[in-house]
Each structure stands twice: as structure tokens, then as C-alpha cells.
A and B are shown apart, each in its own frame.
Chain A
């Protein structure tokens, strides 16, 4: 008789172990199984295990049990030992008893209960009890002050392993109970650290509390793949096993291993496998980071939490009055080839799932016919998204056009839409091009459902067109244009911050303060304020910054820390001493390019005095290293061979400056984006190319010179051109920020177009707002208003403009010095000749109609039939843009009129109703109030004829009703025209004064359509309001604040710094031909009439180098990209 552990130890230490012929093992754990199987291998003929519960409760590994049974080991379940019978000190048998399972015990397992009279004997000559172990705690106990736990182990703190008695620590089995060796080793180390700290009288806990944040269940995605069974590993044949201790499990074959590895573990977000920690060579991943509460003292808050995409999965749709939205019929999530627009965007992306190939998910075939369904989760009250998401029409067109361009095979595209809302600047042109040049079909329709056609993966789309006809059409793929939704988390956030949300949970704002939340000092921007496109988001972002800057103007700059650089080292006359730092970029470069080889090669190049290779050259410690090496080796040129200068040049330049080197003595060789990433399969060629790029960089830097940044003092005041709402808001914000403002208005009074507008669609009182604004502007001590004034001349550049204006009837000239200018020249109503406008008193513009409504005039009170015609002068060949505001303005006036005169019939004849964003609610309200909307196409415009018959008089309007398919005739008392907004003719002059461009429609052209909507390419000049494009009052206000924010950034700095990479003239070579002056897009080069040579205005030069490339005599050159530098790069090849 020998205990299980002792038996196994002897076996494992290869001691000669005697084993009987018939061995009986008592127990049900791994030790019992192990002992039994070992006994079999060292010569036992019959091996039994007796276990008092059933197989289900047996704690041993199920695979072990299975193997034991298959090796012929007999397991007696529900059997307990009673007595070992011996003869002459030799075991002869084991008396046992049968058991049955009773009620569960504390461990949850069912307690075995004796069956009376069931005793029996098992003949055996060796008994191995393997029924658990316990620590021998006789040496220590409660009397020593050490607490003993219920499990009869030492109770310790889990982090420090300190027992209750100071100075006594415990670990291993005496704490955990029987457990594996490695944990005992870990506990030993842990205790050692504690004891070390204890003896040094240090904090035992500091930095040791390991809490790994595990993913929340609701964040864990569902298993994306179906459940796959484990691979079954082949094992040693039974007859070979008993011969010895050869490995029973033979391992996977390559194929099995690959299959096993391919099984999805469904690890959710993070299964804490820690492989990322091992893989990240920069040691940037720390799983012990935990949530911390940080207190920051701020004077103002800007909220920009964004939005989330609408989820069209049938099970995610909200119920509405017991019904689920129609969207549930689109089969998203059920049919693989129904995808959302965001998923389609990924499909088109080069880094997407199909590497940029246009493929459909079900079979990766190239689709030939795709449909887009618009307004999925927008304009749909049944899913609580009654608003228009504002961006889907344009992104659908964009995706369709890109898909067309992308597809290697002919592609047929249909877009199923309700109204095409391409209301933004330049959008309608894009829409027209998509129709005419790309042949995309736009079908005004409602999609009712999608069915997959069995076996093909194709989809049958059921839709009804405007004429009421039902169609079934087959597509290879359907894209759902999903809308924007407020994030659910904003509800909680708004409660905490005490700000109000609207009925959709967007942030509530007012038409006249579009970036102010309901709580002073807290501002909002982006899609949290309502669905919007990128330019509007960017405008609002800058607008919120401006509002916040004005709010905090008293404490401006208090927390700003200015970075100081050491004085610059003079390197004049010194030969080049080049340092080259070659970057591994982890494995991004080093995995392909032979970095040590490149480094060694760089060392052989002329004037290179130091070379190094770094794991990450951009890391903070490498910046310190570069600085040390500049000092140690007197480096006066630095090359980093790593990634793109477009992202990393400024970082390294700053490192040079911190060591006193001019920042222009630096060059990047892009051996990642241009070598390792794009020649991954050709390491030798990539390495060769990397060497060439380094050689070219060396050739260039040998000729680099220190360049001077130009610093110019700024005049801290602004000129604002245009005294409408936009101009006044800009002026007021800048003045509130503490800057002087000159506001120039061409009319007698401030106010502009807004003087004729009385209400916003939401009901805001425009006149009250306007009067308050004018009063503030007129009375602000820092604002000087010039009315009846126009600009006659302007010169200068960012920070230093000089503009002359003519003021008053006598046109007195005043000169204004300013550091920035904001153009806010507004818009005008187009003077249309259509529809008897200005010829028949029954025909009014929208503004005129509004004025009649406000007056409650007889015309309005007696009006029985009012017809409104949309897009008069907009979206035609002459003005191919949408005037954006007319749909909302028409609906506003229609609702107002209906409220005054409920008897009136109101007809709105439209092309597309463009009540984007939250304005959609009012379109719905108008329809509910009985206003009739009739759609027309530009080739069948409404016709109007004045009539007078049988005592009745009016205008006979006829238009084709698409639903009836017939001409409808309306005898109208009044006809209101939604006339286009046009740019003022003075824009042309201004564009020349300030050297800024106009677009084809004569509105001002911004520096970037999406990302820089208030700036020009010319620094220091900004725009806002209708000067940029037609827009609503709230959008004008946001853009005006944005322009003020951008201008304020310039004015708040005492100096403007301009880059040193600009053109310069060698007077000795210049022949004064004037070619450079004519090609310069910025008017930065002028001819000096006396010396007859070209002169560069450093402040105006942008460093494009067009002048230099055009110079016949090689007299004008570009710092940083000079002719000799470029040629030396070429010659180094």
C-alpha cells in the first residue's frame, strides 16, 4: 500500500517501483488516473479504480478517463472502500461498498450515500489511495496569530501574500491548497518581493494591484463563424502503450493543425492572451491600465461626441405602434449581399476585406448590377428617425461613381431615392455628372422588400415608382444607405452636464446660436447637434472654438506654455557632417529591408560621420539619442531613413531645433512607404532601393543651408467686408475676443438680406435677433462700422494688410491697417424673368410673400389657392447649383399661411424637397396640414397663364402630376416663386483685391471643399455666409463664428511665422523678363522697375517653385528644393 503521490514520484524519479499484479487505486482525480495508467505501464496485469460518485462527478480530465478506460482500466463508480484486508502483512483484497447519489453537498456535487448490505470484495495485491492532500500546518496556527482559512490553509492578502501576523508571509500549496508547481514558484517570487519591501519598510502594495479590465459582455461581438468541432488528435495504439511511457497523444498533422488554428475562439474583444504585449516591440501596451477619474479645471467645454450609424438588422429595429419598420423587409444580416453603405465603403477600400476589389460577400464575384436604397433609418418615423440624415444622397452618389470607376467590368447602378438632396456647394453638379457621364440610374421610388433568389445569391428588389407601379428587379447586390443616429451614451452625458437634448436626442440649440447648448459655457459641434456633412461640421467646430474663445477672452493665453529653443548654432563655412539614422519601424521596415545593410552602406557615403539603426526612430528616447549624437559628433545635417515626411518631418525638425540646429538641415528618406511596404515580396530590391534613397538624401543634404523663418509683426485688428448677419457675427465675436474690427457695409444700413426675413422655420424671430445684433455691433467699443462704403484698394499679406475704403456719398478715402480679413458679402435674390415676375401683381418672390404674410394683407386673407414653384433660376444650365434655403423657406411660409388662413389650398410644385437634417419634421408637418406637394421634372416645368373669365381672375398653373399621369390645372390667386440666390457682382472685384479665387458660379472658392471651408489658399483671408454659398441663417452664423475663430488665431499671435522654403532671386542672373511674375499664382513676385530685376515678396511666397521652373536664366530659385539640390539627387543615382 502506497499513496498516489509517493507512487508517482517514485515512478517519475525512475526508482525501481514494485507493482502488484492486481492494483486498485482509490480516488477520482488526475492523480488517481495517472497512478492507474502508470501502474499498467510498469507491469500490473489488472488495474481498477474505485470512485464513490458517478462518472459525471469525476474530477479527472475527461480525456484522461477515456484513455484509461480504453487502455483496459476498470473503473468502479459509486463504490467506496471500507477496509483493506491483509494476510501476513500483504494486501489480499479491498472490501468495498456500493453507493448511490443523494442530495448535493456544499461543493454542488451530489453526496454519495451508502447502500445498505452492498458490501463486496475486490481481490488485489496493491492499493494506491489517491484521495487528496492537505498541508501539514502543525508548525503554525491561530495561536501564532496567523489566520487559518476554512479550507485549512493559511489566509493571506492575495496581492502581498502577507498573513495576518506582521512579518509572516505564505504562498504555495499551504495557501492555495494542492495546486500546480508553477503557481508555487510564482507565489515564492511574489512573497520574496513583499519580504524585500517589508524589510526596507516600503509600501507592500504600491504598483502591484493587477487588475486586467475584461471586456463587458454587451461589447462582445457574437461568434462570427459557425461552431466547428475540435480536431481529434491521433494517439498511440493501445498495445504499444503498455510497453512504457511513450507519448500517447501523437500531435496534429500539418493539415489538422491548420484546421484547429482556424477555429474561431470567439475571444470577443480581448481574451487577455497577452500576445499583443509580446508582439509590440515599443512596449506600448499595458493591460493593467485602468479607468481613472481625472479632474480638470476648465472655463468652457465643447461637446463633439459625433453619431453612430443606423443599424438595419431586423432584430435591432425599434417598434412603432406595434409595427416594425419596412427596413425589416430588406433582409440585412440574412442575405450576405445586402450590405450597408459603410460596409460598401470598406469593400471599395484598398485596405478593406477584398483588398479594394469590387466583390460581393456571398461568393466574392464581381457584381454587375447594384442598387442603393436611400433613407434607411432616415425620414422614417417608424424607427424613430423622422429627420433626414443630410449626407446619404451624396455619399451614395460618390460610392456609385467610385464603384463604376473601380469595376473592371461594366456595372449597372440604380439609386432608389425619395428626394435627391444634393443641396451642398457643388453637389448638384456632381449629381448631374453621375447621371449624364456615369450613366447611373436615379429612380424616384420606395423600396418595399428584398428576397434572395435561391441558389444565386442575387436579390429581387420590390419597389414602387412615382407612378404607383410595382416593379421586381434582380440585382447582384443591394447597398442600404444608412442614416445617422445620436449615440445612446449622450443621454447620460447630457444629464451629467445639465444640457438639453431634442426629441431625437440631438443636442438642442437655437437658430441664432447654433453652437450654444442650453447651458452657458458649454458649446456643441458636429453631428451631435444634428446630422451634417463634413464642411458644416468643420465650420461648427471652429465656430464652437470661437464662441468659447470669446467666453474666455479675459483669461486668454494664461495656460499657454511657450516652447523655447536654444540659440542656433552657426554652421557657416563648416563642411557637412552628416548623421544618418535608419529606422526598423518595428518590423515594418526591418521585416523587409536589410536595415543593418542600409546603415553600413550609409556609412560609406561622402560626409557621413555617424550612422545608427533604431527600432523606432520617432520614439521619445530616440529623439534624445539624436540630440546626443548631434552634440557628440558635431553633426550639422541629419537624415532619418524611415517613413513619410508628410507626417514625421516636423517631429525630427523640432529635435534638431532643440539641439540648436536649423530645422532645414534635415531630410527624410522614405524607405517604408516607398520600399518595405510596397515591395514586400522583393527584399533585395527593396534594400537596394532604400540604399539609393539614402544616397539621394545624402546628395541633397550636402547642399542644404540653414534657412530663416520669416517672422512678421501682426496688426491685431480685422477687416470684415459685409454687414449682414454673417459679417456682424464675425465682427462681434472678434471684438468680444478683444480685437479691433472695421466693418465695411456697402448699403446704408447693416442687416443685409436678413432685413427681409421675419421668422426661421423653427419659429425664431429674425427681426428681434437682427435688431439686438445691430445694436451690439453699433455700440461695441472695438467695432468701427462704415456704411455706404466700398473697398477701392488692398495690398499686403497675412498679419499686415492695408486696405483703402471709400465712405459715404462723398466717397472719402479711409485707410485701414489689419492683420486679417473676413469676406462676408452675402447673396442676392436672382432677378428672374420667368412666370410674369414683376409683371403680374399676383406673382411674388418668397421674400415678398413673407412680407405679405407678416402684414396679414388682404391678398393673404383672401387667398383661396396659393401655388409655389420651386427652383426658379436654380439647378438650371446657367446656375447649376441648389439655392439650399428655398425648400425650407417655402414650407415655412406655407405653414404660416395655413395657420392664418386655414381655408387656403396650398400647392408646392417641386423638383426635390430638400428639407435636410431636422427640417424634415416641418415637411412632415406641412403634409399633415394638407399642403399639397406635386413633383415636376425640369423638362416639364409648370406653365403659368393669367386668365380672366366669368368674373374670376387669376393665374392658371398647369403641371403634370406624375401619380395621375395627367396635366393638373390650378387656378391660383397667388403664385410664389422660390427664386435662386445669386452672388453679388462685387465678388469679382474683391477676389482681385485679396487675390482669392471665385468658383464657376461666382461664389468664393475655399481652400478645401471639406476640410477648410472658411479659409482661402491665401493666408489671412477668410470667408463666411452666403459669400461662400447659399445657406440658412444658423449655418451662416456658425460659419461666421468659424471665420472669426480662424482670424482670431492669427490676430492673437504677436508674430506670424512663415516657412523658410520660399523663392529667392539672384539679381546678377535676372534678365527682368517678367516670366516669374506672370506665372506666380499669388502675386508674390514683382519686377523692380528701377533695377529691372524680379523681387520676391517673402510674405506672399508659398514656396511652390513654379517661378523657378519657368526661369529662363536660372536666376530665381527655391530654398529647400533648389535646382542644384535636385540635380545632385539625380546625379547621385
Chain B
């Protein structure tokens, strides 16, 4: 990871966006030129239900400071029930994260539709701010030197 030399610490975030709603919402934010912080790196997935819990843990292990998973609104899933499957997984994951001492707010889940460009930018801004307040995620990072 390239760090700026003397600039203040900026969090690095990974966002998993489902192809049909949230990724499309991010595209619309682009088309509408809605500005948001540049801390996120997006990984496009077919469905929020495709996001393996392992990915989130891997990201935290790897020094990523925050993770956002965003899918379609309930009832709008392109695969009928993938977002519900994701929601159940994250309900379980959040308890595990709490148990192992990962602060609340570092890993977040949201619904953003293909039409909600403004909401997408808001979510990214909020998550970035939340993670900024929490500071760097070191808990799962190996070999901090």
C-alpha cells in the first residue's frame, strides 16, 4: 500500500457492490458527478449474497481499515433472495466481530438501489467518516512492525 509521505492518515476501505443495484448506483453517482471521499476501492460482485465472510476477515487482516457491503433493497434482489442471505450472514458476522474486538462501524452493510446515486455518495461519506474516527485497524493485522 502506498502511503502519502507527510499527509495525515487516511483510511483505506473496500466496498463490495452488487452488480445490479449498488454498483449501478455508484455508476449513477459518477454520471451525476456527485462527489465523495476517495478512500474506497470497489470490488464488483454479482450479488451481495456472494460476499464470503472470509473476504471481510481477509481484508481486515490485510490492513484494510473498513469494509462496506452494499446490495439491493429487500425485495429487489436480482437473484430473488441473495440480499437476505447476505443480511443473515452479516448478522452473524457482526457478533463475531464484536467478540474478537473489531469496533462497530468498521464493517457496514447497506442497501443502495440503482437509482440512489445521492444515497450511495452519502453512505460512502458516512462510512469513511466512521472509520476515520475509529483510526487504523490493527487488530487482525499480522506482523505490525
Listed in ascending order, the chain A residues whose CB lies under 8 Å from chain B are: 349-351, 356, 644-646, 670, 672-675, 677-682, 685-686, 688-689, 692-693, 696, 997, 1017, 1061, 1079, 1081-1082, 1102-1106, 1108-1110, 1118, 1121, 1123, 1126-1127, 1129-1131, 1133
A1081:B46 contact, CB within 8 angstroms: no
Q: Point out the residue from A673, A1017, A1129, A1131 that lies within 8 Å of B30, measured CB to CB.
A: A673
B80:A997 contact, CB within 8 angstroms: yes
Proximity bits, B17-61, A CB within 8 Å = 1, else 0: 001000110111111111110100111111101111111001100
Q: Min CB distance, A590 to chain B, in Å?
A: 15
Give Cα A1044–Cα B28 distance, bound, in whole angstroms: 34
Q: Point out the residue from B26, B36, B43, B50 that lies within 8 Å of A1118, measured CB to CB.
A: B50
CB neighbours of A1104 from chain B (8 A): 46-47, 49-50, 78-79, 82
CB neighbours of B117 from chain A (8 A): 350
Give Cα A812–Cα B46 distance, bound, in whole angstroms: 44
Given contacts A682-B38, A686-B38, A692-B41, contact A1133 B62 (CB under 8 A): yes
Interface size bucket, B side? 35 or more
B112 CB–A CB distance under 8 Å: no
CB neighbours of B34 from chain A (8 A): 350, 356, 678
A1105:B49 contact, CB within 8 angstroms: yes
Q: Point out the residue from B54, B64, B118 that lies within 8 Å of A350, measured CB to CB.
A: B118
Give Cα A1079–Cα B52 distance, bound, in whole angstroms: 14
Q: Point out the residue from A645, A672, A685 that lies within 8 Å of B44, measured CB to CB.
A: A645
B95 CB–A CB distance under 8 Å: no
Give Cα A1081–Cα B31 distance, bound, in whole angstroms: 33
CB neighbours of B106 from chain A (8 A): none
- Contacts between the two chains (Cβ within 8 Å), count: 139
Q: Min CB distance, A398 to chain B, in Å?
A: 11
CB neighbours of A675 from chain B (8 A): 38
A1017:B78 contact, CB within 8 angstroms: yes
Q: Point out the residue from A678, A692, A1079, A1105 that lies within 8 Å of B45, measured CB to CB.
A: A1105
> What are 29 inter-chain pairs, A to B, with CB distance below 8 A?
A350-B118, A356-B118, A646-B23, A646-B24, A670-B42, A673-B30, A674-B26, A677-B30, A679-B38, A680-B33, A682-B38, A686-B38, A688-B2, A688-B38, A689-B38, A689-B41, A1082-B80, A1105-B45, A1106-B81, A1108-B50, A1109-B89, A1110-B89, A1121-B45, A1126-B55, A1127-B54, A1129-B43, A1130-B14, A1133-B41, A1133-B62
B38:A350 contact, CB within 8 angstroms: no
Q: Min CB distance, B114 to chain A, in Å?
A: 9
Give Cα A678–Cα B53 distance, bound, in whole angstroms: 29
Give Cα A130–Cα B45 distance, bound, in whole angstroms: 79
* Most B CB within 10 A of own CB, among A674, A693, A1081: A674
Given contacts A1081-B80, A1133-B41, contact A1109 B85 (CB under 8 A): yes
Q: Point out the residue from A681, A1061, A1123, A1131 that lies within 8 Å of B46, measured CB to CB.
A: A1061
Q: Point out the residue from B27, B45, B62, B121 that lies within 8 Å of A1131, measured CB to CB.
A: B62
Q: Point out the residue from B26, B50, B54 that lies within 8 Å of A1121, measured CB to CB.
A: B50
CB neighbours of B64 from chain A (8 A): 1130, 1133
Give Cα A646–Cα B85 distance, bound, in whole angstroms: 24
Main secondary structure of the interface of B (DSSP, over half): mixed
With both beta carbons as reference points, the residue of chain B lying nearest to A352 in the complex is identified as: B32
Give Cα A1126–Cα B50 distance, bound, in whole angstroms: 11
Give Cα A680–Cα B62 distance, bound, in whole angstroms: 29
With both beta carbons as reference points, the residue of chain B lying nearest to A691 in the complex is identified as: B2
B52:A1123 contact, CB within 8 angstroms: yes
CB neighbours of A1133 from chain B (8 A): 1, 12, 14, 41, 62, 64
A1105:B50 contact, CB within 8 angstroms: yes
With both beta carbons as reference points, the residue of chain A lying nearest to B36 in the complex is identified as: A678
* Most A CB within 10 A of own CB, among B33, B38, B42, B86: B38
Give Cα A1102–Cα B50 distance, bound, in whole angstroms: 12
B47:A677 contact, CB within 8 angstroms: no
Q: Min CB distance, B12 to chain A, in Å?
A: 7
CB neighbours of B28 from chain A (8 A): 350
CB-CB nearest 10 A-B residue pairs: A673-B30, A1105-B50, A350-B32, A1104-B79, A1106-B49, A685-B38, A677-B30, A1081-B80, A1104-B47, A679-B38
CB neighbours of B32 from chain A (8 A): 349-351, 356
Q: Min CB distance, B68 to chain A, in Å?
A: 14
Q: Min CB distance, B22 to chain A, in Å?
A: 12
Give Cα A998–Cα B23 distance, bound, in whole angstroms: 27
Q: Min CB distance, B32 to chain A, in Å?
A: 4
With both beta carbons as reference points, the residue of chain B lying nearest to A1123 in the complex is identified as: B52
Given contacts A1106-B85, A1133-B62, contact A644 B27 (CB under 8 A): yes
Beyond the given A1104-B47, A1105-B45, please list 15 additional residue pairs across the A-B interface where CB-CB is below 8 A.
A673-B26, A673-B30, A678-B34, A678-B35, A679-B36, A1017-B79, A1081-B82, A1103-B46, A1104-B82, A1106-B47, A1106-B79, A1109-B53, A1109-B86, A1127-B54, A1130-B62
